[in-house]
Structure 1
């Protein structure tokens, strides 16, 4: 694309790109692009580019275009042997840099049409070698049209919520670079705190999403977020239900941003139609009107009513044509119009509405899936099948030997979808109509009657058992956080998931279960050093051992309880302050408080009845504040008391909508503000004048706040800042130097090292100890006392009792849950 570098340079010092660690002006971006173009100088070649939403990909994409090459973007991390075999790219650019496959010397070039600049996949990740050929004219025409109807400004800043290998994601990049607007490059999901921190920090003005993106936005409480710079949202990549279109349009009207529903295809370089934001509420069922420069007509189709027919698009963004092999890349433009395969009608108001399909494609998860190609791919794997779309999933009927789970995973793998998006049904004979045509309606009915596939039930059963839920409530679209998981259930579930999945994704607690199913690795022999354990789990296990051992006088190593308090703050930041609606946040906080307070109060009540070791003020977890100060139990339960009342206070704070919105907008800043409050209490800057015992409890809040800030830190400087505050706060806090070093080392690991590798046996034992830390803490005073004069057996017995009691309570909760399910089923059957 001649003049691309000059075009970028014309925007001068305006912000072009922002990432988590860098900001580039247009002049900076132009210089980097020019450097890559120089590296790639030579004869015109086909460049395969593995894409991430990062600066490396963007610069190399633009650099390859600036050097006059044809670019084929492909998603990183997935094999594409058919693409390689069919098109034999001359250059491959991936995370390792530029790899020349063929010489750039004159005379070595293979023909590429002079208008051709871009090749895009038409069918998601089905492995089809069929590509769309796009010219520079196509790309620029579509970018100009999008910029016009969205009224893009050079002050706009769009976040990259969609892959660069996808036409919708590329169209966001093209249109914004065209007008001198900014891009916020990130591969993080909208369910991640880091995404919203980055979006707010760089004053993001727009988000683009496919229907699945809006499912995620609903889950993270988008409606309650404070996004002062947001100007508009766009939606494409499949049909969004009219009621959801209307809901988002109304939300936009209340919140001061616009909502655009768009319609398009890769074959049209992205966009063909848009629904003006002012019509989204009144016409949520329409795709809208043609983009500037484009037009529609409706061709009659047999079997459809008058006025309805196939939607045909004309415009300068219509592709040059398809490519089936390398020779097609030398061909010129073969099309003047695009037959969409959609059945549509035009309303009296001039807006177009899609009412059906004339061809065998479906759009899911932002991918256009060729069902015929999917059937062909399955035949290549020895499976004769019929595939059809059924709402938000693909239904597959097949005959033959493979199991349903195997076919479901194979189809999902071919289509590039999570296994939860595919339902496979084995039949004796594929269903046919009376005229012997494939009966796809029968396939849909078979899939709807089929219960959830077995391979999903095991993983969802793990969630149901660990969280004591009815398995029917554990659906593929929900995550650990959605299901009400907290720091106590997190340990048990993380250990079981690591065994079930073969690995443990770092953000598993926020990922839908269906996504976790899609990451499951084949069962294989594990190496001795093969397990991943979260640092927070390891610290909980180590801390409870130190606490019990020191109290039983097996050794004297204090500081474990302070490490536990930091871990509690870390888990508070991860599980209680998630991007969920405010009511759900408060519900999770109440649940977490109950999981700690109820067992504590029940155990204290039992000990009050059987012994004279506790005081009534212990029963309300306030002995440190209410006294008596001289009681032998004044220090026994300080950790539980401090933690419960810290959580109660924070539940009150974040029940307040203003505080909730502030935390969503600036999670790290809010955490640091509370850490500053903790430091003020630690140095008694506020002069509260509390008694020694009460002041002791208040002093410990800063440990909790430090863990909270660690959970919200995403950039290196943020981790460094929390570490520095930790070092300052610990200086002079303890009398023993070793105690200071121990707590600093433990919490520094928490800040900088999220997970560690260890032997599988160690991971399992640590998981048991960490999961049982609360019950061990409550009961160990009574257990080790039974072994007077024999501290080692006392410590071991305390740990074993804590583990057994935790397992017993878990079994009891599961039994109660199953009884409730049985009662519900009996009631429903009457």
Structure 2
């Protein structure tokens, strides 16, 4: 099976170029042939939202070359550390900087001079970092079959066919953005490559011009669209909304679901992790209002269980514990250095998600928090995710908030809030949890920092407390 289904099209909104059919297949094959000539090892592809990046990814996939998709804005020191640990065959679309030791600049790429190198496992197709632009990330090892099975399952539940037109509303080095690309191309649909993102004027011009049919966003995007008074009536072709990448407020799910249904459209709330290539579950659009707060049943071919505190697994309704997922899209494992790229499947299709949740009587999953997103207030364990949700629903005028642990208290950064709103939020949390207000340090912040994926950059905020 290939990622390029019959009739798949790529439209380059910036360059006005369209590739489809034989022309697209031949261009991918031409690039794939060039990648085959590179030394053994993983390829690092600095992946922007542009046609060249998409074609390089497709070429690597079709050529059977394991490729790590790298944020082009990745800190230079982090990139240098990754190169040292993984000795890639090449860094495609290299930075505008001198090549590191042992690499030559060739046609805009850094190519390793030495011909020795670890051959990645033959099933390994895609590697994605586990963290954002800082730190020392591991790489998630995803097999070709995991990528393809997830793309096909998502296409099935979202009813993607050749008539669908999806814009690139998310970075392509981010697993959700990559999943949108994969799930459309595999069904012969169209992807419009437009770099400015949901908040850019050029993006909406492209939605109009190319009659895009769907929009994918993370919670931050929907918060911003609400501020911008997004109205789907203005975009007659746009009739599908999808949301993943974190928990969206229930009131916003209801608001956007009502808006899109009013014009004959549909909204899907999904759940996933990079380690599952990446999507795991989807709420059917016709049950979204009924199952508000759920992330849905597992995708076709997948299965959820809940691990209780005693270590036993259950599917009994309402039992809260760690969410376990089994399916063909689970990663092969992690890699921290070149040698580990040759390893086989270490997970056997089983993934402990690190999320807390429960199943209802219909097998729909409800996420209640993260095992590691826990703080303490005067010795009392609190869910940082729950605190954020409590502030957003406290009617104090704060919509975007990020909570981090800080010793025996919690610091919450409130975007665009004044000090009175922050004090009101602190009082609301104190009343809700019956703990003194001094345990909740709510601070105003002009803009909550985000990763390229649109998720909150908690690491940066932790460095500020």
Note the alpha carbon deviations across 1:722-767, whole angstroms, 9 max, x for none.
xxxxxxxxxxxxxxxxxxxxxxxxxxxxxxxxxxxxxxxxxxxxxx
**CA deviation after TM superposition for structure 1 residue 99, in Å:** 2.1
Aligned length: 392
Q: Give, in whole Å, the separation in 2 of the partners of 1:279 and 1:350.
A: 13
SS of equivalent to 1:290: coil
Note the alpha carbon deviations across 1:664-693, whole angstroms, 9 max, x for none.
xxxxxxxxxxxxxxxxxxxxxxxxxxxxxx
| CA pair 451-16 structure 1, distance change in 2 beyond 3 A | closer
SS of equivalent to 1:62: helix
The reply to whether residue 77 of structure 1 matches residue 73 of structure 2 is: yes
TM superposition score normalised by structure 1: 0.44
Q: Give, in whole Å, the separation in 1 of the partners of 2:235 and 2:436.
A: 41
**CA deviation after TM superposition for structure 1 residue 95, in Å:** 6.2
**CA deviation after TM superposition for structure 1 residue 179, in Å:** 0.6
| CA pair 84-447 structure 1, distance change in 2 beyond 3 A | farther
The reply to whether residue 115 of structure 1 matches residue 111 of structure 2 is: no
The reply to whether residue 325 of structure 1 matches residue 333 of structure 2 is: no
**Quick check: 1:83–1:127 contact (8 Å CA) kept in 2?**
no
**Quick check: 2:126–2:143 contact (8 Å CA) kept in 1?**
yes
| CA pair 39-98 structure 1, distance change in 2 beyond 3 A | farther
Structure 1: which 5+ runs fail to align? 363-386, 400-407, 409-417, 422-440, 457-474, 478-513, 519-830
Match of 2:100 in 1: none
Which of 38, 60, 63 pairs up with 1:67? 63
SS of equivalent to 1:30: helix
| CA pair 445-235 structure 1, distance change in 2 beyond 3 A | farther
Match of 1:359 in 2: 372
Q: Give, in whole Å, the separation in 1 of the partners of 2:371 and 2:222.
A: 27
Higher mean C-alpha displacement, 25-34 vs 191-200: 25-34
The reply to whether residue 94 of structure 1 matches residue 93 of structure 2 is: yes
Match of 1:46 in 2: 42
Trace 1:379-394 onto structure 2 (pairs within 5 A). 391=388, 392-394=401-403
Match of 1:348 in 2: 361
The answer to which structure has the higher strand fraction is 2
**CA deviation after TM superposition for structure 1 residue 69, in Å:** 1.3
**CA deviation after TM superposition for structure 1 residue 138, in Å:** 0.5
Note the alpha carbon deviations across 1:578-617, whole angstroms, 9 max, x for none.
xxxxxxxxxxxxxxxxxxxxxxxxxxxxxxxxxxxxxxxx
| CA pair 445-156 structure 1, distance change in 2 beyond 3 A | farther
Q: Give, in whole Å, the separation in 2 of the partners of 1:131 and 1:15.
A: 30
Match of 2:166 in 1: 158
Trace 1:797-816 onto structure 2 (pairs within 5 A). none
| CA pair 224-116 structure 1, distance change in 2 beyond 3 A | closer
Q: Give, in whole Å, the separation in 1 of the partners of 2:405 and 2:318.
A: 33
Match of 2:204 in 1: 196
Q: Quote the RMSD (CA, aligned, Å).
A: 3.3
**CA deviation after TM superposition for structure 1 residue 352, in Å:** 1.6
Match of 1:278 in 2: 286
Q: Give, in whole Å, the separation in 2 of the partners of 1:115 and 1:444.
A: 54
Which of 8, 11, 20 pairs up with 2:6? 11
**CA deviation after TM superposition for structure 1 residue 156, in Å:** 0.5
Q: Give, in whole Å, the separation in 2 of the partners of 1:65 and 1:175.
A: 14
SS of equivalent to 2:133: coil
| CA pair 444-11 structure 1, distance change in 2 beyond 3 A | farther
Q: Give, in whole Å, the separation in 1 of the partners of 2:126 and 2:335.
A: 11
Q: Give, in whole Å, the separation in 2 of the partners of 1:111 and 1:177.
A: 28
**Quick check: 1:275–1:289 contact (8 Å CA) kept in 2?**
yes
**CA deviation after TM superposition for structure 1 residue 206, in Å:** 0.7
**Quick check: 1:246–1:282 contact (8 Å CA) kept in 2?**
no
Trace 1:160-559 onto structure 2 (pairs within 5 A). 160-223=168-231, 225-301=233-309, 307-336=319-348, 337-360=350-373, 391=388, 392-395=401-404, 397=406, 448-452=440-444, 476=447
**Quick check: 1:176–1:183 contact (8 Å CA) kept in 2?**
yes
**Quick check: 2:168–2:197 contact (8 Å CA) kept in 1?**
no
Trace 1:665-684 onto structure 2 (pairs within 5 A). none
The reply to whether residue 128 of structure 1 matches residue 136 of structure 2 is: yes
**Quick check: 1:92–1:98 contact (8 Å CA) kept in 2?**
no
**CA deviation after TM superposition for structure 1 residue 278, in Å:** 0.9
| CA pair 451-148 structure 1, distance change in 2 beyond 3 A | closer
Higher mean C-alpha displacement, 325-334 vs 86-95: 86-95
**CA deviation after TM superposition for structure 1 residue 31, in Å:** 1.9
| CA pair 306-31 structure 1, distance change in 2 beyond 3 A | closer
**Quick check: 1:295–1:313 contact (8 Å CA) kept in 2?**
yes
**CA deviation after TM superposition for structure 1 residue 354, in Å:** 1.4
Q: Give, in whole Å, the separation in 2 of the partners of 1:190 and 1:346.
A: 33
| CA pair 129-356 structure 1, distance change in 2 beyond 3 A | closer
SS of equivalent to 1:289: coil
SS of equivalent to 2:231: helix
Match of 1:57 in 2: 53
**Quick check: 1:395–1:444 contact (8 Å CA) kept in 2?**
no
Note the alpha carbon deviations across 1:141-196, whole angstroms, 9 max, x for none.
10010010001011111011111111100001111110110001111132222211
Note the alpha carbon deviations across 1:301-347, whole angstroms, 9 max, x for none.
25999722211100000100111222111100011210112222221
| CA pair 302-355 structure 1, distance change in 2 beyond 3 A | farther
**Quick check: 1:18–1:202 contact (8 Å CA) kept in 2?**
no
**CA deviation after TM superposition for structure 1 residue 444, in Å:** 12
